[in-house]
């Protein structure tokens, strides 16, 4: 298992995070934005697990923390999808640029 160094995992997580961020910033579809957010959360999870496995394999806080993050991500996805549904009903579409009520 030591054949794969820690930095590879970190590189993968960073790439995943960048892909998620790119999706959040560029996608017009709100559902796709939510998917980007999920990617970013999972990139952070991957980091946590990698650091735990390589640096502090004895302690159990990190896997617990990751489980909490997964749970909250599920809840967030549920709430987010509900919001997207509500947006679709009110704005007749799920394009993010329609949501500029704050400017007015």
Partner 1 sequence: MIPVYLVPALPLAAFILISLTSLRKRQGLAPALLIAALAGSLGLSIALLVGVQSGRIASGSQFGFTWMAVRAIDPPLILRFSFLVDGLSALMMVVVSAVALLVQVYSLGYMRGDEGFGRYFAFMALFSFAMLGLVTSGNLLQTYLCWELVGLCSYLLIGFWYKKPEAASAAKKAFIVTRFGDVGLLLAVLALSYSAGTLSFTGLERAISAGTLTPFFFGGSAFLTVIALLIFSGAAGKSAQFPLHVWLPDAMEGPTPVSALIHAATMVAAGVFLVARTYFIFQAAPMALGVVALIGVFTAFLAATIALTQNDVKRILAYSTISQLGYMMLALGAGGMAAGMFHLTTHAFFKALLFLCAGSVIHAVHSNDIREMGGLARRMPITALTCAIGALALAGIPPLSGFYSKDEVLAAVQNSGYISALVGTGGQAVVLALALGVVFLTGFYMSRLWFVVFTREWHGHGESCTAHESPFSMTGPLVLLAALAAGAGLFGHPVGTLLGDASPESGATWLPAVSALIGASGIWLAWLVYWVRAYVPGKVKSPFALALYRGSQNNWYIDAFYTRVVARLVLGTAAVVAWVDRHVVNGMVDGVGWLAGRAGAWLRRTETGQLQWYAYVMVGGAVVLALLLSTLVVSR
Q: Which residues bind partner 1 (CB under 8 A)?
A: 21, 24-26, 33, 96-97, 99-104
Shortest spacing between CB 12 and partner 1, in angstroms: 20
Residue 47 to residues 6, 28, 32, 86, 102, Cα–Cα distance (Å): 10, 28, 23, 34, 35
Looking at beta carbons only, is 17 or 52 nearer to partner 1?
17
Looking at beta carbons only, is 37 or 62 nearer to partner 1?
37
Looking at beta carbons only, is 89 or 97 nearer to partner 1?
97
What is the DSSP code (8-state) at residue 68? H
Shortest spacing between CB 16 and partner 1, in angstroms: 15
Shortest spacing between CB 96 and partner 1, in angstroms: 6
Extract long-range pairs of 92-95: CB within 8 Å, 24+ residues apart. Answer: 94/29, 94/30, 94/31, 95/28, 95/29, 95/30
Task: Answer yes or no: are the C-beta atoms of 46 and 78 closer than 8 Å.
Answer: no
Looking at beta carbons only, is 9 or 29 nearer to partner 1?
29
Shortest spacing between CB 78 and partner 1, in angstroms: 20
């Amino acid at each position: 298992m030591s054949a794969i160094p820690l930095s590879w995992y970190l590189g993968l997580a960073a790439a995943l995070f960048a892909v998620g961020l790119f999706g959040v910033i560029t996608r017009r579809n709100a559902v796709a934005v939510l998917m980007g957010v999920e990617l970013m959360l999972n990139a952070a999870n991957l980091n946590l697990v990698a650091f735990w496995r390589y640096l502090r394999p004895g302690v159990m806080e990190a896997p617990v923390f990751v489980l909490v993050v997964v749970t909250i991500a599920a809840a967030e996805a549920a709430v987010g999808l509900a919001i997207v549904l509500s947006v679709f009903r009110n704005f007749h579409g799920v394009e993010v640029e329609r949501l500029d009520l704050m400017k007015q």
